[in-house]
Structure 1
Amino acid sequence: MCGIVGWVNFEQDLSNHTENIKKMTATLIHRGPDAGEVHCTEHALLGHRRLSIIDLGGGGQPMTKQGFTIVYNGELYNTATVRDLLIQKGHQFSTTSDTEVILTAFIQWRELCVNYFNGIFAFGIWDDEKQSLFLGRDHLGIKPLFYKQLPDGIIFSSEIKAILSHPSVKAQIDYRGLAALLSLGPSRTPGDGIFKDIVELKPGHAMNVTKSVSKSWRYWDVQSKAHSHSLPDTIEQVRCLVTDAIERQLVSDVPLCTMLSGGLDSSIITAIAAKKYALSNQTLSTFSVNYEGNDQHFKGNAFQVSQDGYWIEKMQQAFQTKHQEIVFTQNQLVQSLKDVLYMKDMPSMADIDGSLYLFCKEIGRDFTVALSGECADEVFGGYPWFHQQEEQQHFPWLRSTKERQQLLTPLWQDRLKLAEYMQNSYEQSVKEMPHFVGNAIEVKRQRLFYLNNVYFMQTLIERSDRMSMGASIEVRVPFADYTVMEYVWNIPWEMKTAGGMEKGILRRAFEDILPKDVIYRKKNPYPKTYHPAYTTGVQQELRTILSQKKSVLHELFDQEKLQQLLESGGKSFTVPWFGQLMAGPQLIAYLIQLHHWFDHYQIEILPS
C-alpha cells in the first residue's frame, strides 16, 4: 500500500514549492516506508510514499505516461483482465504493475476507467495538457482520500495530516464539525472530514477538477432487485463469490498471513488461504490477539460471549497453520492511545483501535500483508440490531445521544445540539438511500443494511486502514468486495438467516470445510481488555489531563459529570458510547484522545 498527496494551483507557478510537497509527502512515511518521490510541474505537485507488495522492482510513483501522471494507493485485483483489454486496444506496458494499468485505463477510457476496476484504490491523475485533475476512490471506500478546495486549486491526500501540513491550511473545527464529532464519533457522516473545509471523497465516487469547475459523482451503488435464485443456488453463489474474493486477495510478492479469531469470518478466510497454500506445499501463518490477565478478568456478556482460544485451536489443528498469539499489557494499550490518534487524525475507538495498531506492528515484524474477516457482519447482517423487532429511527450503534448531550456544559449543549445533529444526519442518510423492494419489514431491514454500509462499516474500514498503515502493513478485507455486496444485498432475509442463525447463508456456504464448532459459534466481536489495571491506567491519565486548566475538556464538559466518570471508571455513563464495546474505560480513553487531539493539532474552534 501507499500514501498519496497532491497540490494543484491553476493560477500560481508551483515550481518553487517542491519543499512543501516533500514535507506533505513525508507525513505519510508510515504508509510507504520503502520509497518516496515527488513529481513537479508548473501547476501540479504530486507526492507518493510506497509500500512495495506487487512488482517490487517496478511500479515506482509518481508514474508518467503520455503526458498523464498518477499517484495511486491500493491494489487492483483484476489487473491481468484489464491489462489484456488495454493490450487489445493497442496499448503497450513497460511494467507489470497495477499502477500502469490504472493509468493506461484512464488514458483509454478517461473517467469511465473506474467501471473496469475490481480492487481497493484511491488515486489522482494529472493531465498536463488539459490542466485537469481526476480523482477516483474504490466502490466501498477501503482506501481513503481527502481533499480541500483552495481559491485557485485543490489539495488531496490519503490522510488529513498531509493536508494540514500545507502552509495555507489551519487546523480548525466549527460548531458543526464539533457536533459531528461529539454526536457521531468515532464514526463520521460520509464525506465529512470533521476539520473545517476538509472533505472526504465518498466511496464509489470520482471527481474532475479544472480551473473553471469541480464536479464529483457516484459511479457505483448497490441496486435493489428481486432475488431469483433458490436457496441451494444462493448458497453456491455466495460460496463462489466469497472464495473468489479471498483467492484474488492472496496475490502478493511479499509474505502474507491471516488474522484468526476463531470466528466464522476469519476462519473462512483462513481455511481458503490454507488450502491454497497447501497446493504449493506452503504453511499459512495466522495471528490472534489477547490481553494480559484476560483469562482471569474476562466477563462474558450478550455481545462478547466467550474468549477466542478454544476456536482458534480448533482452526489451527484443522488446517495446520503456524499460529502465534500476540498478548498485550494494559500499559501498552494506554500508551497506544496517542499513537492511534495521530494515525487517524481524530479521536478513535480508543484501545480497541490501539490493540489493532499494536497487533499490526507485531505482525509487521515478519509479514507485509494480512487478511482480515472485517465487514462480513455488515454485508451479511451479523449485528444484534438486525435481529431486533422494535422500530428504530436512529443509528442503532448510537444509543447514547441523550447521555452525550448531558455530559456537556449547558453552554455547549445549546451551541452543539447533539440530538438535533444526530437526528438530522440520520434523516438525511435515509433520504439518500436507494429504492428498496419489499414490504415494510423488509424495507426497514434494508434501511439498516444501508446505514451499516455507509456509516458503521466505514468506521471499521477506516480503523483497519489507519491502524495497519500506521504499522506499515496492508490489511485486506475480502468480505468488503463490491461483487459480494451486490449479490448479498438482494438476498431475502429468510435466506440470509438460513437455519435460524445470524449469517446463516454464510455458514451454510462453508459448512463442509470448517470444523462444526466454528461454523455454529455465536458471533463474537473483536476482543477487548477486561483487566482492572487498564481502567486504573486511563483513570490516572485523565486525572493528569484534568489537572491542566487549559485542557479543552474543561471548556466543553460539565466538570461534576467528568469527575463522576473518572471516579466510577466510566460506569456513570450507563450506555456504550459507541457500538457494543466502547463502554466504561473506553469512554475515558476517548476523552483522553479528545484532549490530545486538540493539543497536538492546535485546533481552533470557530462558530459555524
Structure 2
Amino acid sequence: MSSISGFTGSDADALQLMQNKLRHWQPDVEEIYLDEDISLASLELYDTPESTYTKQPFEYGDMVVVADCRIDNREELSKKMDLPLNIEAADVFFIALAYKKWGNDCVKYLYGDLAFVIWDKGRKSLFAARDHIGIKTLYHTTINGRFVFASEIKGILAHPDFKAEINERYIVSSIGGVHEASADNTPYANIQLLPPGHFLEWHSGNVTISRYWEFGKNVPAVTCREEEYIQKFRDLLFEAVRCRLRSPQGLGAEVSGGLDSTSIAAIAMEILGKGTPFHSFCHGKAQNKKFDVYGDDTYVVRDFCNKYNISGYLHVVNEANHSWDIAEDILLNVYDEEDTTEVPLLTGAFLPAAKSAGVRVMLSGHGGDHVASNLARGFYMQNAIDKNYLRLWRNLYREFGALRSIPRLGYYTARGLNGTAITKEVSKKALQAIQNSGLRSEVIEKYNLLANPAAIDLLSASCLADKYVRNMRFRAAVKRAYTHDLVSKHFNIEYRFPLLDVRLMEFTMAIAPHIEKKYGSQREFYKLAVKDYIPTAVWDSGKSMVPTTPFIHAFYKKNEQSIRKLRESLDSGLTRFFDEGKLRNTTAKLNLKLIVLNNAYKKIKHKQL
C-alpha cells in the first residue's frame, strides 16, 4: 500500500510539499525520483511479504514506476513472462514487466487493487491506470502545462502553484443526496479522478483517457457444466480470499455475523488453518438501551471464532468506542471528499485497536450485495412495465406456485400498465429528500437535480444481470470501498474486498440467467456455496441483526454538540446554497457531509492567503 504523487518536470520543493501532505499515516519507507523531465514520490507500507524486495520509485530500463498496488495473479503473470513462480520481487516489478511486454494492454493482464504511473524516459511519455473496480484512486490535474497526479486529492492541493476551483455541481449534488453519474468528478472543478477500468496517457502536454474494462461487457464464456457451477464459484471465492491474505504481519476481518463478512472470514480460516491468529472485529450489544433495537448477535461471531479456535482474537465494540477525536481527525485530515455512508468513518471504533494488535490487512465483506451475494429477485414490477409477461409469470410461478401467482400476475400487470406513475412515485421521494436537504429552490432548479436518474436507474432492473450492472454503475458502491481503503491507511492497515474480485464477479454475471431460473436470487446460490463453513445462525438469517445503523445513530447523539459546532462554522461559499431557516435544522448525516465539504472551501481560501 502506498501514497504516490508526482508531476512532469522537475521541482524537488514542490514534490516534497505534496509528499508531506500525504503523510497522514506512518509509512515504512519513503523515496523520491527526480530528473529534468519527471518528479515522482512514494510513501510505502509493507503490506505483502514481497514488498520489501523492490523499492519505489522503481527504475526498470527506461521506465520509472510508482504504484499503490497489490497484484493478485502473480503466478499467472510469472508463467506468461517466464519468471520463477516464487520470484523475490514486489508487485510493482510485475507492473513494469507487464508494461514492457504488452504496452498499454498490460492493464488487461493485471488483476488486483492498483493505481500506478509509469514514466517512459525514452519516449518522454507517461502512462497511468486504475484497477477494474476502482479500489485504489488516482487524481490528476494540469498546472502550468505540467501533468500532476496523486493518490489523494490533498497531495495535489499541496502543490504550490495549484489554484483550486470549487465544483459547485458536485457540492450541491452531494448535499441533495443526488449521486452524479460521472465517475471522474471531485469537489474541485480542476481535479479529476481517473475512473475505474481506465488508463491515461500523457505525451507532449496532451492527455488521453481510455476505457479498458467495463463490467457486463465481453463477459468471459463459462467453460464448466451447470452441475459444476457451485464448485466453480466456490473455487473462485476461495481464490479471491487466498490472494488477499498476503501480509507480512497480522490479519483481521470485519465479522458482523451476516452472511458476507462471516463467510469471507470463515474461508480465510479454512485456508490458514484452525488456530492461526486471526482478529475478528464486530459491533456488539449497544450500551444505551435506546439504541438496543436489534438485540445482540455477537453469539454468531463467537460461534465462528469457537469453530476455528480463535476466540482469543475477538474484539467487540459498541458506541463507547466511537471517539469524536478520532472521527474529527478523519473528517478534517483524511477525507478529501464526503462519504456516501458513515460506515468507513465508524471503523475508527476498532482500527486503532487493530493497529495496536499488529493487524496489517483487514478483510471486508463489502461489495457482496452488489453482485456476488446479491439479494434481488423477481423484478416483477419492471417486467410488468416492460410488458414482458412471460418472464413475469415464470418469476412469480417459481416463487409462489401456480395458484398464488395468478392474483399477483393480475396485480403487477395492472400496475405495470401505468409505468409512468411508478416513475413519478420514485421521483416524488427523490424530490422530498432534496427539499429536506435545505437547498434553495433556485439552486435545485439551476443544477437540474430532480432530473438525476440514479434512484430510478437502480429500481429499473429487469433481471439479475441487469441489476448487477446497474449496481456497479452506481458510484456510491465503489466510493465506499475506496473510502474504507483511505481511512484504514490512516491507521497503517489495508482493507481488502474479496467479494469485489473481478473474476468472481464476471463468473457471477456469466451464470446469472441460470441462477435466476433455478434459485431465484444469487443470495440463495451463494449460501449453498459457503454453507459448510458458516455457523447455522448465519445460514438461517443471512443478514446481520446488528448492523452499524444503531451505532451510527448513537454516534450522532453522543457527539451532537461537537458535530453542530463544526457545522456552524460553515463558509459563506457553502451557506449561499441554503435557505437560512432550513440550514439550522439539517440532519446529523448531512452535517457530517457539510463538515467535509466546508473543509474543501477552507483549503481553497488557505491557498489564496
Q: TM-score, normalised by structure 2?
A: 0.82
**Structure 1 unaligned regions, length at least 5:** 301-305, 431-439, 571-584
In structure 1, the partner of 2:189 is 196
In structure 2, the partner of 1:577 is none
In structure 1, the partner of 2:509 is 489
Residues 458, 331 of structure 1: alpha-carbon distance in 2 compared, 3 angstrom cutoff: closer
Q: 1:153 aligns with which of 122, 127, 146?
A: 146
Name the SS for the 1:345 alignment partner: coil
Name the SS for the 2:499 alignment partner: coil
Q: Distance in 1 between matches of 2:213 and 2:567?
A: 47
In structure 2, the partner of 1:7 is 7
In structure 2, the partner of 1:315 is 304
Name the SS for the 1:5 alignment partner: strand
Query: What is the 5 A alignment of 1:113-128?
Result: 113-128=106-121
Q: Distance in 1 between matches of 2:428 and 2:249?
A: 40
Residues 349, 205 of structure 1: alpha-carbon distance in 2 compared, 3 angstrom cutoff: closer
In structure 1, the partner of 2:443 is 412
Contact kept in structure 1, 2:24 and 2:333, CA below 8 Å: no
Contact kept in structure 1, 2:3 and 2:42, CA below 8 Å: yes
Name the SS for the 1:253 alignment partner: coil
Query: What is the 5 A alignment of 1:554-569?
Result: 554-565=575-586
Deviations 1:23-44 (A, max 9, x none): 1122222466111111001121
The reply on whether 1:376 has 2:368 as its aligned counterpart is: yes
Counterpart residue type for residue 173 of structure 1 = I
Q: 1:353 aligns with which of 317, 340, 344?
A: 344
Contact kept in structure 1, 2:250 and 2:278, CA below 8 Å: no
Q: Distance in 2 between matches of 1:483 and 1:180?
A: 33
Q: Distance in 1 between matches of 2:607 and 2:446?
A: 16
Q: Distance in 1 between matches of 2:237 and 2:44?
A: 29
Counterpart residue type for residue 172 of structure 1 = E
Deviations 1:266-297 (A, max 9, x none): 11111111122227x62322222357525552
Q: Distance in 2 between matches of 1:59 and 1:276?
A: 27
Q: Distance in 1 between matches of 2:12 and 2:85?
A: 31
In structure 2, the partner of 1:169 is 162
Residues 550, 237 of structure 1: alpha-carbon distance in 2 compared, 3 angstrom cutoff: closer
Q: Distance in 1 between matches of 2:606 and 2:335?
A: 15
Q: Distance in 1 between matches of 2:380 and 2:604?
A: 41
Name the SS for the 2:500 alignment partner: coil
Residues 592, 557 of structure 1: alpha-carbon distance in 2 compared, 3 angstrom cutoff: same
Equivalent pairs, count: 561
Name the SS for the 2:492 alignment partner: coil
Counterpart residue type for residue 4 of structure 1 = I
Contact kept in structure 2, 1:146 and 1:198, CA below 8 Å: yes
Q: Distance in 1 between matches of 2:270 and 2:463?
A: 39
Post-superposition offset of 1:127: 0.5
Contact kept in structure 2, 1:239 and 1:510, CA below 8 Å: yes
Contact kept in structure 1, 2:156 and 2:162, CA below 8 Å: yes
Name the SS for the 2:162 alignment partner: coil
In structure 2, the partner of 1:460 is 480
Q: Distance in 2 between matches of 1:92 and 1:283?
A: 27
Post-superposition offset of 1:381: 5.5
Contact kept in structure 2, 1:69 and 1:126, CA below 8 Å: yes
Residues 381, 559 of structure 1: alpha-carbon distance in 2 compared, 3 angstrom cutoff: farther
Deviations 1:498-556 (A, max 9, x none): 65666111101111222221123242484134587644455423543565585555322
Q: Distance in 1 between matches of 2:521 and 2:47?
A: 38
The reply on whether 1:476 has 2:496 as its aligned counterpart is: yes
Contact kept in structure 2, 1:340 and 1:353, CA below 8 Å: no
Residues 263, 116 of structure 1: alpha-carbon distance in 2 compared, 3 angstrom cutoff: same
In structure 1, the partner of 2:327 is 336
The reply on whether 1:38 has 2:32 as its aligned counterpart is: yes
Residues 505, 341 of structure 1: alpha-carbon distance in 2 compared, 3 angstrom cutoff: farther
Q: Distance in 2 between matches of 1:311 and 1:260?
A: 9
Q: Distance in 1 between matches of 2:517 and 2:359?
A: 36
Post-superposition offset of 1:332: 1.3
The reply on whether 1:451 has 2:454 as its aligned counterpart is: no
In structure 2, the partner of 1:110 is 103
Counterpart residue type for residue 482 of structure 1 = V
Q: Distance in 2 between matches of 1:230 and 1:224?
A: 20
Residues 287, 330 of structure 1: alpha-carbon distance in 2 compared, 3 angstrom cutoff: closer
Contact kept in structure 1, 2:376 and 2:521, CA below 8 Å: no
In structure 2, the partner of 1:541 is 562
Contact kept in structure 1, 2:65 and 2:96, CA below 8 Å: yes
**Structure 2 unaligned regions, length at least 5:** 386-421
The reply on whether 1:63 has 2:45 as its aligned counterpart is: no
Residues 369, 30 of structure 1: alpha-carbon distance in 2 compared, 3 angstrom cutoff: farther
Name the SS for the 1:413 alignment partner: helix
Contact kept in structure 1, 2:334 and 2:490, CA below 8 Å: yes
Name the SS for the 2:64 alignment partner: strand
The reply on whether 1:144 has 2:175 as its aligned counterpart is: no
Q: Distance in 2 between matches of 1:233 and 1:93?
A: 31
Post-superposition offset of 1:494: 6.5
Contact kept in structure 1, 2:170 and 2:187, CA below 8 Å: yes
Name the SS for the 2:116 alignment partner: strand
Q: 2:541 aligns with which of 516, 521, 538?
A: 521
Post-superposition offset of 1:346: 1.9
Counterpart residue type for residue 368 of structure 1 = R
In structure 2, the partner of 1:599 is 602
Deviations 1:71-110 (A, max 9, x none): 010111122331343236xx99995211112112212221
Q: Distance in 1 between matches of 2:239 and 2:33?
A: 37
Name the SS for the 1:87 alignment partner: coil
Post-superposition offset of 1:299: 2.7
Name the SS for the 1:167 alignment partner: coil
Counterpart residue type for residue 451 of structure 1 = R
Residues 331, 515 of structure 1: alpha-carbon distance in 2 compared, 3 angstrom cutoff: closer
In structure 2, the partner of 1:263 is 258
Q: Distance in 2 between matches of 1:554 and 1:295?
A: 36
Contact kept in structure 2, 1:141 and 1:202, CA below 8 Å: yes
Name the SS for the 1:269 alignment partner: helix
Post-superposition offset of 1:186: 7.3
In structure 1, the partner of 2:82 is 87
Contact kept in structure 2, 1:269 and 1:371, CA below 8 Å: yes
Q: Distance in 1 between matches of 2:172 and 2:33?
A: 38
Contact kept in structure 2, 1:299 and 1:530, CA below 8 Å: no
In structure 2, the partner of 1:182 is 175
Contact kept in structure 2, 1:120 and 1:141, CA below 8 Å: yes
Contact kept in structure 2, 1:254 and 1:368, CA below 8 Å: yes
Q: TM-score, normalised by structure 1?
A: 0.82
Q: Distance in 2 between matches of 1:520 and 1:292?
A: 23
Contact kept in structure 2, 1:76 and 1:121, CA below 8 Å: yes
Residues 149, 526 of structure 1: alpha-carbon distance in 2 compared, 3 angstrom cutoff: farther
Contact kept in structure 1, 2:567 and 2:595, CA below 8 Å: no
Bigger Cα displacement from structure 2, 525-534 vs 52-61: 525-534
In structure 1, the partner of 2:396 is none
In structure 2, the partner of 1:247 is 242
Q: Distance in 2 between matches of 1:384 and 1:123?
A: 35
In structure 1, the partner of 2:403 is none
Residues 136, 531 of structure 1: alpha-carbon distance in 2 compared, 3 angstrom cutoff: closer
Residues 549, 81 of structure 1: alpha-carbon distance in 2 compared, 3 angstrom cutoff: closer
Q: Distance in 2 between matches of 1:355 and 1:426?
A: 25
Post-superposition offset of 1:417: 3.0
Bigger Cα displacement from structure 2, 268-277 vs 77-86: 77-86
Post-superposition offset of 1:559: 2.3
What is the identity percentage for the equivalent residue pairs of Structure 1 and Structure 2? 22
What's the Cα RMSD here? Answer: 3.5
Contact kept in structure 2, 1:341 and 1:347, CA below 8 Å: no
Q: 1:586 aligns with which of 576, 589, 598?
A: 589
